[in-house]
Amino acid sequence: MKMRTLVCSISLASATLLAATTVQAEELRVQTSFNSGDYAYHYLQENWVPKVKEVTGGDVTLNLMPTGSVVPYKETMDAVAMGLLDGDLTAPSYFTGKDPVFALMGDLIAGYDKPSQFLDFCKNGGGEHVLQKAIDAEVGNKVHVVGCGPYKREALVAAVPIRGVDDLEGVKIRSPEGLAADVFKRAGATPVNIPFSEVYTSLQQGVVDAADASAYVNNDASGLNDIAKYPIYPGIHSMSSQQFTLNQSTWDSLSENDQKALHKWFYNAFNDLADAVHQKDEQLVARDKAEGDITVIDWPQSERDKFREVARDAWKAYAQKSELAQEALDAHVTYMKEHGLLKNASSQTDNDKSEDTQS
Burial 170-197 (b: 16+ CB within 10 A, else e): ebbbbbbebbbbbbbbbbebbbbeeeee
Q: Is the pLDDT of residue 358 over 50?
A: no
**Residue pLDDT, tens place only, 298-352:** 999 999 999 999 999 999 999 999 999 999 999 999 999 999 888 754 334 344 4
Measured CA to CA, the distance from residue 293 to residue 203 in angstroms comes to: 17
Which of 190-194, 212-216, 353-357 is predicted with the least confidence, judged by mean pLDDT? 353-357
Which of 13-17, 244-248, 280-284, 287-291 is predicted with the least confidence, judged by mean pLDDT? 13-17
Q: Is the pLDDT of residue 295 over 70?
A: yes
For residues 143 and 39, which has the higher predicted lDDT (pLDDT)?
143
Give the architecture-level CATH label for domain 24-153+239-281. 3-Layer(aba) Sandwich (3.40)
For 127, half-sphere exposure in the C-beta direction (CA atoms, 13 angstrom radius) is 30
Q: What is the mean pLDDT of the chain?
A: 90
Residue boundaries of the structural domains of the chain? 24-153+239-281
Q: Is the pLDDT of residue 253 over 70?
A: yes
pTM of the model: 0.86
Phi and psi angles of residue 235, each rounded to the nearest 5 degrees, phi first: -65, 165
Nearest to 155 by CA among 219, 111, 223: 219
Residue 106 pLDDT: 96
Mean pLDDT calculated for residue range 209-231? 94
Residue 351 pLDDT: 43
Mean pLDDT calculated for residue range 26-34? 96
Residue 344 pLDDT: 57
Give the residues across from 27 on adjacent strands. 61
Measured CA to CA, the distance from residue 207 to residue 289 in angstroms comes to: 27
Mean pLDDT calculated for residue range 103-113? 95
**Cβ(246)–Cβ(99) below 8 Å:** no
Which of 116-125, 174-183, 245-254, 294-303 is predicted with the least confidence, judged by mean pLDDT? 174-183
Q: Is the pLDDT of residue 177 over 90?
A: no
Confidence of residue 38 (pLDDT cuts 50, 70, 90): confident
Residue 259 pLDDT: 98
Percent of the chain with pLDDT over 90: 82
